[in-house]
Structure 1
């Protein structure tokens, strides 16, 4: 009888532990949808990518800048957070407007320009006029003029920096930029933030272009075109939708959590000629604009030291991105200056 009682007690304790473990697992799990819930044109990946390159850039107090690869359900391979030219020595780096990673803590644009090396000017048109672009990107940009590479960001992730790109061109010319919100957790668009290891990062880019006489000839605003090509993290695939050229994730959760292994991501292939002047971007959405407060730059000297440029009284530049500044991680933007 004693043996039967002990056996019953042990069995009850085991079942109780099993129930408790199952409940804990259920409480911590992420509610995700079945892939069949997605009706759009993107390729779908789920979970964390494999790391292919570690620490491509190192900065004191900066986040680790890695590159990864992941395979989608349709057996396509994707580079995350994006396929960039950062390690391509033939694509020129932009000059520093502000770069604390390398000690270039300029107090204003005039000081930064005094250190500019004129041999860095890219000749799109050898007999053209010299134009200067001032750029703050969260986190990374690559800039083309008429399909010619003119500058890429020196700091892919953090600390936050800002840049100067000078080029020689004739009007009209087309600016095309690849913008990337980098990620700590490759493949799911997440970084550690606000007490959550898997928290969606936000983004944004602002630019001002001046002519050789220091006149503002263009700023980022709602007249630029912007299209997204990588969206993550997605907890429930039924939250995304497409309407013509629009790729919407505005109904998706941005809360993040403790475990991103079941998060989804959406990937679209980039057109090969997206940076060319004759590329047809007519079906791309217009850029969405965001305020300084929405982007959160009021405590970043890479921006605040240069408000006389970015927030000029005669032409206040707007931060731009695609329709979702939190979940859209790779965005292409275009604008023609006439």
Structure 2
């Protein structure tokens, strides 16, 4: 069977138009799957995708408003007891969000944070096995106000005490390893043992270093950070190394 030049031209034009009509997303590279192989959880509640607001049923003589933004996850203890943890799982890719919450407590109030940056395993890396394999970077900011008066009680800064509990990898070259493993010298981790009662009011944190303050340029806060009016005294804090420090504990005390 033979085709005329006009017939061939018409067929090629139809094919070209079919490709141009296909959605661009169908050709885009899909993001890597979540580390646990599960679909990301749905967005948090609250007044927007980047801010979760809640009222916590707790006891005390004083009503307090807490506001926190963390890359990537936190758990907060007040006076030694768990109060709230990040509403978005740390296993969620790009789990950036802010939390605003009301609670009641008594003074003095001991604030104890467990901060975590996402790490796929103990090498401290993320997106392992993809072209995006890298060390992540952390950062946190928090402030607490008297709910009745609006007065600032405390905000994260160099007067808080923070200790790095897990650091990895040992060397930046681990980022380029084809099969990174924590048993490798350049991918090894350093862990600091912390007593189980580190969040208790009676715990002596005087030997802990002061929090390391980092600039917004270095932390690059996003997705929820600008949903909160931060007091000028509130600073972005973490361990000394934003990339290698993956688990950080921080404490502060409000006398009232």
Runs (5+) with no aligned partner, structure 1:
1-60, 68-98, 236-252
Question: Match of 2:168, SS?
Answer: strand
Q: 1:323 aligns with which of 232, 240, 249?
A: 240
Deviations 1:157-179 (A, max 9, x none): 33311112322122221100111
Q: How many residues align?
A: 212
Q: Does 1:155 align with 2:88?
A: yes
Q: 1:101 aligns with which of 36, 43, 49?
A: 43
Cα shift at 1:267: 1.8
**Residue 200 of structure 1 aligns with which residue?**
135
Q: 1:256 aligns with which of 148, 172, 175?
A: 175
Deviations 1:295-319 (A, max 9, x none): 012xx2311222xx22x3xx34101
Query: Aligned Cα RMSD in Å?
Result: 2.8
**Residue 282 of structure 1 aligns with which residue?**
206
Q: 1:188 aligns with which of 123, 128, 145?
A: 123
CA 1:101–1:225: 2 relative to 1, 3 Å = same
Matches within 5 A, 1:212-223: 212=147, 213-223=149-159
Cα shift at 1:62: 9.3
Q: Distance in 1 between matches of 2:105 and 2:200?
A: 15
Tell me if structure 1 keeps the 8 A contact 2:166–2:189: yes
TM-score w.r.t. length of structure 1: 0.57
Tell me if structure 1 keeps the 8 A contact 2:44–2:87: no
Deviations 1:49-107 (A, max 9, x none): xxxxxxxxxxxx7972549xxxxxxxxxxxxxxxxxxxxxxxxxxxxxxx982364539
TM-score w.r.t. length of structure 2: 0.74
Deviations 1:100-149 (A, max 9, x none): 8236453998xx66xx4x4x2322x3xx1110110001111110111011
Q: Does 1:303 align with 2:245?
A: no
Q: 1:172 aligns with which of 84, 108, 120?
A: 108
Deviations 1:257-288 (A, max 9, x none): 14323311112222111000010111110000
Tell me if structure 2 keeps the 8 A contact 1:196–1:256: no
Tell me if structure 1 keeps the 8 A contact 2:137–2:219: yes
Tell me if structure 2 keeps the 8 A contact 1:63–1:159: no
Runs (5+) with no aligned partner, structure 2:
1-30
Tell me if structure 2 keeps the 8 A contact 1:101–1:159: no
